[in-house]
A and B are shown apart, each in its own frame.
Chain A
């Protein structure tokens, strides 16, 4: 996918976060790579272990893991809400961990936005006040910040609710405020920490659509945390899967589903409908096609009907418009039935 090849916006290299009294010592004694036994022996908990990842400009990068896998700690290391025990966090090429308090404050004021699982709205401020808050902190004048906030509120579809207070809104509406607020400063990187986990399934779905719509307009660089694999598949350009503090696989949803790195990942992906992740380009075989053509990035689920409705084989176009092959009905059927794609 193109977005994953753009310039790197945010990266971390060998980030460790250990909790416990002797965290730094353990790390030093083991040459920066303690194993389970060393950690347990010192009574230290390894919340994040040797995490390395690159987030490219304009991509939705999802960190997926079950509770206790360290995903929330990792995102807090990336934003430096938590001080990592070791490693580098590179934001636009400079080490965030070397920034002093003043610089960090500036970066957060102008370049970062964050959305929280439980919304974290300030209860004493109205919707308008909440969304304008990050601008108020920067010292932006009242008129300017309120008009900017009103724009953001309109963007997330809450126009008319400016004077409401958080407790008067539903969960979904509160999270829309959270989103508007995090976008008010026009951040370069957007952290979303399980933004939809506290919402009902139907609302969650609606918010995911809303999120994709916003991203299609805004094209932000996004780090998105979730414990919901379906959500990850649905939204991600790339996914990193975490277990026990370590990243065990990074890849596009398709890669993760079709080529799981470990049995643990395979366990997650087992029930994922293949048709939702496998793209037409992967199944394309050489051959001559009829007039109907689909893009290589299209999911099989989206094009299956056409493959079966057409008399002639359906062609697949690559990103540059050149043909990469045709789709065979048997291949499509295999995918629809959940079988592994034949190579």
Chain B
């Protein structure tokens, strides 16, 4: 090849030339922060006089809703009360069946029918598990429920299970119907999507307050909060699943002459079944995730036990109840997943025979449960696991904590203090000193580079809300805590992901661990953290990192594994070393996916931050939390929206970047 052709084929400079621009922006931020003393005061600290009294407006609107709003025939309050009444009735029935038994009549002649026997319930669940998931799942389910019995968690677990049994079907049905409406009408989808974004990013605490006002303190309010929290993914997954039905099947439905109704219920919904069952699984998992938070507004059961133990710093008790929630969650997760992924029936299965023959398992289960209820009346040990047989490890854990405090206290304190002084405080001070016009400008610049003027306006508008409501400083503390946690989570998670993607065994093992970690309710992460580090920003950060680590790992593994095989082969054919293969071929291609993982990490970190308010942070999470304690609707909703807006800003920017990058790489 001649010099001339080399000259021609040399790559041109990158067309965007954006690196210097970004550098200049970063420099501007740094300089303005250092020189913040010289800037006008209003630029550093948003003046109090410029705030809008949004909080009292919301509180007033809430009051109007409860006291004066009316639909003509009935008032708003009557409406909420009738909903309460319905759910309360259903819950009572479920409690009776699973936890308390039924009592008819009063006094001496009262007839008491005990609840479903623990033995019978375990037998039925194990049979079901065997059917949908094989022997392994059956053993696992047996183990989980025996733990509940042996560790004395049974009755609390049944209270929790009862509320799940009632709230999940309603959540699924509501999600399904809204999802169908959104699938059918573009305008419904347009209206619902931002609402879903908000429902999933506003911390749960924020809407606990209005729910408390509308439905009163108690299990019903807790259940409604759970449904609001758990239904959004069902809506999204319904739309996705219906869209995912092959175009030809949709066309076939029309060619067969289906009416709209037939087309939906006889063609689309059955064809989308596996996707819809994933939605069911999500609803179950999120409902269990809410168990502890729901106990703050009156749900009993395991959640209440954990919360109660945490408040008394009874680590051992909290841990046992926490594990009980986790096992319940994993068991229900595996059961619903197995049901979702179960292949459709094969020929020669249940078609023939009478109704009884086709449903003999279900009938058998029902008979067993009913008989056990009757038998429980005669032999108490059948109804409830006998108290003397229960075990507890509470003492052991309390001793462990005591030992840790005595022996490791100094070491832990040194590490903690060092990190606080050298890492956390400087970052915090920087964020607080960063003038708000500069930060908003930077975000707008990033938005403009990534997605045009619309994306530039979004962070400015959302940031303006935070400023106007006077939450800027708290928001910055949130950003600092969340940002640091995410950086640390990424620093641990991405290398872990790279390692796990190394071969199939490691991938399988790691993903199994991650799956399990993600089924832990967020509160459970607080238990060991409090054990080791007591309270404060540092503890919060550790809990957030632990909670938010999973997506960083998962998306890294996924990103690396989805690099097209032919590109990897091409690299190998050109003689890349393993290191070159990773850094020159797989990582660049996986980066957009990894960034989506970071995005998820941010979302999870923000949701965890609110919960870490329990260990004494001073950010927006604390604001939401105290609003709940004081039942201050306006304050709670505003602070909750601020958290959501931070989340939405981060989400939109990262998504835009990832989309662009994927398009550039042609791996969309």
Query: Which residue numbers of A lie inside 8 Å of B, CB to CB?
Result: 76, 79, 81, 105-110, 112-114, 116-120, 122-126, 133-134, 136-138, 161, 163-165, 167-168, 191
Among the interface residues B273, B348, B351, which one has the most CB atoms of the partner chain A within 10 A?
B351
Inter-chain contacts of B246 with A (CB < 8 A): 118, 120
Inter-chain contacts of A138 with B (CB < 8 A): 257
Q: Is the CB of A120 within 8 A of B257?
A: no
How many angstroms between the C-alpha atoms of A133 and B258 in the bound complex?
10
Inter-chain contacts of A81 with B (CB < 8 A): 251, 254-255
Q: Chain A interface: which of B339-347, B366-374, B577-585?
A: B339-347
Instruction: Give, as a whole number of angstroms, the nearest-CB distance from B25 to chain A.
Output: 36
Q: Is the CB of B351 within 8 A of A122?
A: no
Q: Is the CB of A126 within 8 A of B347?
A: yes
- Judge if B248 is at the interface, Cβ distance under 8 Å: yes
A-B contact pairs, 7 of them (CB 8 A): A116-B251, A117-B248, A120-B252, A137-B256, A165-B345, A165-B346, A167-B343
Inter-chain contacts of B249 with A (CB < 8 A): 120, 122
Q: Is the CB of B347 within 8 A of A118?
A: no
How many angstroms between the C-alpha atoms of A107 and B259 in the bound complex?
13
Q: Is the CB of B344 within 8 A of A123?
A: yes
Inter-chain contacts of A123 with B (CB < 8 A): 270-271, 344
Q: Is the CB of A109 within 8 A of B248?
A: no
Contact of B346 among A108, A109, A119, A168 (CB under 8 A): A168
- Judge if B267 is at the interface, Cβ distance under 8 Å: yes
Instruction: Give, as a whole number of angstroms, the nearest-CB distance from B264 to chain A.
Output: 13
Inter-chain contacts of B273 with A (CB < 8 A): 124
How many angstroms between the C-alpha atoms of A106 and B348 in the bound complex?
35
Task: Please list the 6 inter-chain residue pairs (A to B) with the smallest Cβ-Cβ separation, ordered nearest first.
Answer: A109-B257, A108-B257, A120-B248, A163-B347, A120-B252, A164-B347
Q: Is the CB of B344 within 8 A of A165?
A: yes
How many angstroms between the C-alpha atoms of A106 and B259 in the bound complex?
10
Contact of B251 among A105, A109, A120, A163 (CB under 8 A): A120
Asked if A134 meets B251 with Cβ closer than 8 Å, knowing A123-B344, A164-B347, A165-B347, the reply is no
How many angstroms between the C-alpha atoms of A109 and B263 in the bound complex?
13
For A104, the closest partner residue in chain B by CB is: B257
For B273, the closest partner residue in chain A by CB is: A124
Inter-chain contacts of A113 with B (CB < 8 A): 255
Q: Is the CB of B251 within 8 A of A76?
A: yes
- Judge if B358 is at the interface, Cβ distance under 8 Å: no
Q: Is the CB of B347 within 8 A of A116?
A: no
Inter-chain contacts of A191 with B (CB < 8 A): 255
- Judge if B262 is at the interface, Cβ distance under 8 Å: yes
Among the interface residues B246, B257, B345, which one has the most CB atoms of the partner chain A within 10 A?
B257
Asked if A105 meets B259 with Cβ closer than 8 Å, knowing A122-B270, A168-B346, the reply is yes
- Judge if B112 is at the interface, Cβ distance under 8 Å: no
Inter-chain contacts of B345 with A (CB < 8 A): 165
Inter-chain contacts of B343 with A (CB < 8 A): 167
- Judge if B266 is at the interface, Cβ distance under 8 Å: yes
Q: Is the CB of B351 within 8 A of A114?
A: no
Instruction: Give, as a whole number of angstroms, the nearest-CB distance from A185 to chain B.
Output: 8
How many angstroms between the C-alpha atoms of A118 and B271 in the bound complex?
15
Contact of B255 among A112, A118, A126, A168 (CB under 8 A): A112
Instruction: Give, as a whole number of angstroms, the nearest-CB distance from B24 to chain A.
Output: 37
Instruction: Give, as a whole number of angstroms, the nearest-CB distance from A241 to chain B.
Output: 24
How many angstroms between the C-alpha atoms of A108 and B254 in the bound complex?
8
Instruction: Give, as a whole number of angstroms, the nearest-CB distance from A65 to chain B.
Output: 19
Given A108-B254, A124-B271, A137-B266, 6 further pairs, Cβ under 8 A: A79-B255, A122-B270, A122-B271, A126-B351, A163-B351, A165-B346
Q: Is the CB of B344 within 8 A of A167?
A: yes
For A187, the closest partner residue in chain B by CB is: B255
B251-286 contact mask (Cβ, 8 Å, vs A): 1 or 0: 110111111001000110011010000000000000
Among the interface residues A114, A120, A136, which one has the most CB atoms of the partner chain B within 10 A?
A120
Q: Is the CB of B248 within 8 A of A118?
A: yes
Asked if A122 meets B267 with Cβ closer than 8 Å, knowing A105-B259, A116-B248, the reply is yes
Q: Is the CB of A134 within 8 A of B270?
A: no
Instruction: Give, as a whole number of angstroms, the nearest-CB distance from B275 to chain A.
Output: 12
Inter-chain contacts of B255 with A (CB < 8 A): 79, 81, 108, 112-114, 191
How many angstroms between the C-alpha atoms of A108 and B257 in the bound complex?
5
Instruction: Give, as a whole number of angstroms, the nearest-CB distance from B255 to chain A.
Output: 4
Instruction: Give, as a whole number of angstroms, the nearest-CB distance from A113 to chain B.
Output: 8
Inter-chain contacts of B248 with A (CB < 8 A): 116-120
Inter-chain contacts of A117 with B (CB < 8 A): 248
Instruction: Give, as a whole number of angstroms, the nearest-CB distance from B254 to chain A.
Output: 6
For A112, the closest partner residue in chain B by CB is: B255
Contact of A134 among B256, B271, B344, B351 (CB under 8 A): B256
For A76, the closest partner residue in chain B by CB is: B251
Instruction: Give, as a whole number of angstroms, the nearest-CB distance from B277 to chain A.
Output: 12
Q: Is the CB of B344 within 8 A of A109?
A: no
Inter-chain contacts of B251 with A (CB < 8 A): 76, 81, 114, 116, 120
For A127, the closest partner residue in chain B by CB is: B347
For B254, the closest partner residue in chain A by CB is: A81
Contact of A114 among B252, B346, B348 (CB under 8 A): B252
For A135, the closest partner residue in chain B by CB is: B256
Q: Is the CB of A105 within 8 A of B257?
A: yes
Among the interface residues B255, B266, B270, B351, which one has the most CB atoms of the partner chain A within 10 A?
B255
Q: Is the CB of A137 within 8 A of B351?
A: no
Contact of A116 among B252, B258, B266, B351 (CB under 8 A): B252
Q: Is the CB of A133 within 8 A of B256?
A: yes
How many angstroms between the C-alpha atoms of A112 and B256 in the bound complex?
8
How many angstroms between the C-alpha atoms of A136 and B258 in the bound complex?
10
For B259, the closest partner residue in chain A by CB is: A105
How many angstroms between the C-alpha atoms of A79 and B256 in the bound complex?
11
How many angstroms between the C-alpha atoms of A43 and B256 in the bound complex?
34
Inter-chain contacts of B266 with A (CB < 8 A): 133, 136-137
Instruction: Give, as a whole number of angstroms, the nearest-CB distance from B429 to chain A.
Output: 53
How many angstroms between the C-alpha atoms of A118 and B248 in the bound complex?
7
How many angstroms between the C-alpha atoms of A210 and B495 in the bound complex?
58
Instruction: Give, as a whole number of angstroms, the nearest-CB distance from A132 to chain B.
Output: 11
For A102, the closest partner residue in chain B by CB is: B259
How many angstroms between the C-alpha atoms of A133 and B263 in the bound complex?
12
How many angstroms between the C-alpha atoms of A113 and B257 in the bound complex?
10
Inter-chain contacts of B256 with A (CB < 8 A): 108-109, 133-134, 137
Inter-chain contacts of A161 with B (CB < 8 A): 347
Instruction: Give, as a whole number of angstroms, the nearest-CB distance from A155 to chain B.
Output: 19
How many angstroms between the C-alpha atoms of A118 and B251 in the bound complex?
12
Inter-chain contacts of B348 with A (CB < 8 A): 163
For B348, the closest partner residue in chain A by CB is: A163
Among the interface residues B262, B266, B347, B351, which one has the most CB atoms of the partner chain A within 10 A?
B347
Inter-chain contacts of A79 with B (CB < 8 A): 255
How many angstroms between the C-alpha atoms of A265 and B266 in the bound complex?
44
Inter-chain contacts of A168 with B (CB < 8 A): 346-347
How many angstroms between the C-alpha atoms of A106 and B257 in the bound complex?
7
Instruction: Give, as a whole number of angstroms, the nearest-CB distance from A149 to chain B.
Output: 13
Q: Is the CB of B258 within 8 A of A137?
A: yes
How many angstroms between the C-alpha atoms of A221 and B212 in the bound complex?
67
For B269, the closest partner residue in chain A by CB is: A124
Instruction: Give, as a whole number of angstroms, the nearest-CB distance from B165 to chain A.
Output: 26
How many angstroms between the C-alpha atoms of A110 and B251 in the bound complex?
16
Inter-chain contacts of B262 with A (CB < 8 A): 137
Instruction: Give, as a whole number of angstroms, the nearest-CB distance from A121 to chain B.
Output: 8
Q: Is the CB of A124 within 8 A of B351?
A: no
Inter-chain contacts of A110 with B (CB < 8 A): 257
How many angstroms between the C-alpha atoms of A165 and B348 in the bound complex?
10
How many angstroms between the C-alpha atoms of A223 and B252 in the bound complex?
16
Inter-chain contacts of B267 with A (CB < 8 A): 122
How many angstroms between the C-alpha atoms of A18 and B346 in the bound complex?
44
How many angstroms between the C-alpha atoms of A138 and B262 in the bound complex?
10
Inter-chain contacts of A122 with B (CB < 8 A): 249, 252, 267, 270-271
Inter-chain contacts of A163 with B (CB < 8 A): 347-348, 351
Q: Is the CB of A124 within 8 A of B257?
A: no
